[in-house]
Amino acid sequence: MDIAIFQRGNFADHIAEGIRLNSDFKVSVFSVPEELPQIIDEVEKYIKSDFKADLILDYLYHPNLTEYLIELAKSKGIPIIVPKRKVRDAITPVTCCTLGLNSSLDAVLRYSKKFGFPEIDVRIDDGKIVDVKVKKGAPCGATVEAAEKIVGMNVSDAIQKFPLEVQYLCRAETGYDVAKSKKSPLHIAGDVHIEAIKRAVKAKNPGRSS
């Protein structure tokens, strides 16, 4: 499957690298300058229409460019994922790791089986995590990197450490202004990962409550 990533500056370079390392998807990256005018009238100067893809990921963070890219995607019949923003005619997960398996579109389903709400499997021996298999995780690779860091840890420590390691690696926004008094994307990323490891541990030890 071919994925086209549109980014502002180099913001999504880590996303592209994570997808390449953790899947067999082909990734093409199209970049626009980091410094952009507040209003862009001639959007065609920044986004060319001659690209081919099965799925588009938008990290442009400019309303005019994103709106144009969505319209371009519609005209080409390509589904588009726009994380962390509420826009029309696009799939808009709160974070890159909260994409669910709730689409009827083949390309989105294929992508979301690899990247989205984290799913891991753990092997436990003598109260310690001795192996972690990431079935699905964040496209940036944070899930995989965090999983490597908890191997050898006691189960209780690993449950606490895993989401914290994800948050250290995660580039989602945090803070009151971003969250508008609600949970910030960074905290949401931590929440979905702590639930993932709790489920994995419980699957190996059904009597464990946390």
Residue 197 in domain:
yes
Question: Using CA atoms in the order 99, 170, 150, 148, what is the torsion angle rounded to 10 degrees?
Answer: 80
Residue 196 in domain:
yes
Report d(CA 210, CA 200) in Å as an integer. Answer: 11
pLDDT by 10s per residue, the chain, length 210 = 999 999 999 999 999 999 999 999 999 999 999 999 999 999 999 999 999 999 999 999 999 999 999 999 999 999 999 998 889 999 999 999 999 987 778 999 999 999 999 999 999 999 999 999 999 999 999 999 999 999 999 999 999 999 999 999 988 765 434 445 467 888 899 999 999 999 999 998 765 545
What number of other Cβ atoms are within 10 A of residue 108's Cβ?
A: 20
Q: What pLDDT is recorded for position 179? A: 42
Which domain, by its residues, includes 139?
A: 119-204
Q: What pLDDT is recorded for position 117? A: 96
Report d(CA 150, CA 161) in Å as an integer. Answer: 7
Report d(CA 210, CA 203) in Å as an integer. Answer: 11
- The CATH number covering residue 168 comes to 3.90.1010.10
Q: What pLDDT is recorded for position 177? A: 40
Alpha helices for the chain (secondary structure H): 13-22, 63-76, 106-112, 142-149, 155-169, 176-179, 185-204
Residues 78 and 124 both lie in one domain: no
Q: What pLDDT is recorded for position 207? A: 56
